[in-house]
């Protein structure tokens, strides 16, 4: 999909109309057009939703790539509704700041933040959503509102975890972090060591300080065979971080370790390269795991061994520290206990291998992890058909979310991250 430049090449829906919007009036006009012509509506931010929710068949797309300006003002940034994490970090860096983003630069800040937003500063700064201070929103009827603690607080509550289900966010005020540099990089271990390293990693990060947030998972070595990665981010002084990095390296015999002091944007640039937008096809599933126990480690190894494509990967995000100290009912995000969010990423080049088998691998892996997992899942990674998981995805917040949906989008104009059936 060249014009919309959607990350997942497997998305086959084609819109009838794409409206590239540069300001609020153009967004309102596009909403009017969709309503007048009865066109299903979609909103395109960074284009990284794997399920392709930035486009609907024969619908109208509000493309926000004309709204990517980021203005830095002291400890906050005013971020356009179509800005990516890379846009925000590039603007914040000269001021010696960063922000709670995800792990990949090209992901849209609004799409990430509205769904939650796991990232390298999760332990010290919480989710991206926890750093949203206010949002300017165009509602389905064209009304423009500001949502914050002091203005439309219910909408503001729902925007932090409830996805793009309530309106078009044309700009956000985001809290910045005084963290221009991190001590981070990648450590690779032979796959044969994966069971021990994963289990040891689970124990280690369970007792780690907030400053250490680490991802782990399985990708491919250049010859296509699986390799275990750990991507730590230490967000304080390198001297203290070196101690934790050494402990991670000592979990096995690393093939490679590239941990060093780097600007916050560097790992995000590497993330863009690893999960490229180059026409590859993707099918994704997700599970939340309460802990990375030896049983879980073994299941992950079994899943990784069964991959049908060298491009397929497993990636675990550690949710801990500051993110767990936010009371679960104070935002719509439904799971505040410590956990690992697993991304199951089946990926292949079109025509390479058996597409059905690639997709099946993602489903089989989700099934394998189910008995070990918490109910629910990360809404940004769930598709509409994952009803069982969606039913639990918002934890105790589902009913309240339903009420906000009814108030702000009674006709269901915005179809975004899935909401439970009964909503």
Return the closest-CA partner of residue 145 out of 231, 153, 83: 153
Q: Which of 21, 39, 42, 292 binds ligand FAD (CB under 6 A)?
A: 42
Q: Which of 19, 53, 160, 386 binds ligand FAD (CB under 6 A)?
A: 53
CB of 357 to ligand FAD, least distance (A): 22
Give the binding range for ligand FAD (CB under 6 A) out of 102-110, 147-155, 244-252, 328-336.
102-110
CB of 360 to ligand FAD, least distance (A): 21
Q: Does 119 interact with ligand FAD (rule: CB under 6 A)? A: yes
Residue 410, judged by CB atoms within 10 A of its CB (0-12, 13-18, 19+), counts as exposed
Q: Which of 186, 331, 380, 397 binds ligand FAD (CB under 6 A)?
A: 380
Q: Does 115 interact with ligand FAD (rule: CB under 6 A)? A: yes
Q: Which of 116, 126, 321, 376 binds ligand FAD (CB under 6 A)?
A: 116
Cβ nearer to ligand FAD, comparing 46 with 241 = 46
Q: Which of 13, 30, 39, 54 binds ligand FAD (CB under 6 A)?
A: 54
Residue 252 is encoded by which pair of tokens?
Answer: 């096995």
> Are 169 and 159 a contacting pair, CB within 8 Å?
yes
* Contact positions with ligand FAD (CB under 6 A) in 159-188: 163-164, 168-169
Q: Does 65 interact with ligand FAD (rule: CB under 6 A)? A: no
Q: Does 28 interact with ligand FAD (rule: CB under 6 A)? A: no
CB of 245 to ligand FAD, least distance (A): 20
Q: Which of 110, 300, 362, 419 binds ligand FAD (CB under 6 A)?
A: 110
Q: Does 107 interact with ligand FAD (rule: CB under 6 A)? A: yes
Close Cβ partners of 357 (under 8 Å, ≥ 6 residues apart): 308
Binding string, 291-330, against ligand FAD, x = CB under 6 A? ----------------------------------------
Cβ nearer to ligand FAD, comparing 164 with 254 = 164
| Cα 34 from Cα 21, distance rounded (Å) | 14
Q: Which of 416, 418, 419, 423 binds ligand FAD (CB under 6 A)?
A: 416
Q: Which of 15, 111, 254, 310 binds ligand FAD (CB under 6 A)?
A: 111
Give the binding range for ligand FAD (CB under 6 A) out of 43-51, 149-157, 193-201, 285-293.
43-51
Q: Does 15 interact with ligand FAD (rule: CB under 6 A)? A: no
CB of 414 to ligand FAD, least distance (A): 7
Q: Does 7 interact with ligand FAD (rule: CB under 6 A)? A: yes
Backbone angle region of 117, left / alpha / beta, with phi > 0 → left and psi within -120 to 50 → alpha: left
Q: Which of 15, 117, 202, 334 binds ligand FAD (CB under 6 A)?
A: 117
Q: Which of 19, 44, 287, 307 binds ligand FAD (CB under 6 A)?
A: 44
Q: Which residues bind ligand FAD (CB under 6 A)?
A: 7, 42-50, 53-54, 64, 81, 102-104, 107-108, 110-112, 114-119, 163-164, 168-169, 275, 380, 416
């Amino acid at each position: 999909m060249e014009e919309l430049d959607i990350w997942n090449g497997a998305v086959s829906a084609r819109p009838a109309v794409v409206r590239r919007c540069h300001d609020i009036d153009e967004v309102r006009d596009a909403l009017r057009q969709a309503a007048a012509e009865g066109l299903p509506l979609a909103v395109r931010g960074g284009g990284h939703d794997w399920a392709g929710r930035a486009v609907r068949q024969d619908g109208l797309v509000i493309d926000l790539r004309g709204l990517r300006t980021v203005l830095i003002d002291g400890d906050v940034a005013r971020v356009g509704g179509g800005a990516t994490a890379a846009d925000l970090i590039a603007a914040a860096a000269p001021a010696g700041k960063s922000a709670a983003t995800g792990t990949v630069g090209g992901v849209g800040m609004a799409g990430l933040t509205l769904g939650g937003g796991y990232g390298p500063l999760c332990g010290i700064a919480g989710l991206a959503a926890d750093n949203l201070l206010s949002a300017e929103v165009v509602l389905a009827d064209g009304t423009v509102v500001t949502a914050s603690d002091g203005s439309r607080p219910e909408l503001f509550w729902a925007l932090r975890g409830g996805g793009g289900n309530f309106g078009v966010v044309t700009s956000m005020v985001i809290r910045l972090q005084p963290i221009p540099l991190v001590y981070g990089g990648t450590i690779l271990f032979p796959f044969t060591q994966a069971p021990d390293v994963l289990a040891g990693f689970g124990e280690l990060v369970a007792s780690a300080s907030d400053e250490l947030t680490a991802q782990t998972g399985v990708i491919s070595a250049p010859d296509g065979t699986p390799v275990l990665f750990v991507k730590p981010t230490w967000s304080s002084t390198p001297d203290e971080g070196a101690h934790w990095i050494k402990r991670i390296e000592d979990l096995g015999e690393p093939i490679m370790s590239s941990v060093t002091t780097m600007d916050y944007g560097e790992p995000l640039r590497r993330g863009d390269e690893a999960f490229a937008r180059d026409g590859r096809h993707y099918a994704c599933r997700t599970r939340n795991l309460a802990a990375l126990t030896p049983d879980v480690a073994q299941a992950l190894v079994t899943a990784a061994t069964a991959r049908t494509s060298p491009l397929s990967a497993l990636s675990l995000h550690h949710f801990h520290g500051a993110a767990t100290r936010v009371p679960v009912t104070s935002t719509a995000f439904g799971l505040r206990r410590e956990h690992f969010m697993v991304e199951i990423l089946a990926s292949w080049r079109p025509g390479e291998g058996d597409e059905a088998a690639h997709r099946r691998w993602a489903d089989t892996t989700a099934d394998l992890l189910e008995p070990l997992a918490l109910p629910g899942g990360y809404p940004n990674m769930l598709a509409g058909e994952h009803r069982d998981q969606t039913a639990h995805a918002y934890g105790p917040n589902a009913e309240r979310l339903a009420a906000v949906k009814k108030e702000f989008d009674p006709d269901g104009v915005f179809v975004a991250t899935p909401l439970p059936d009964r909503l």
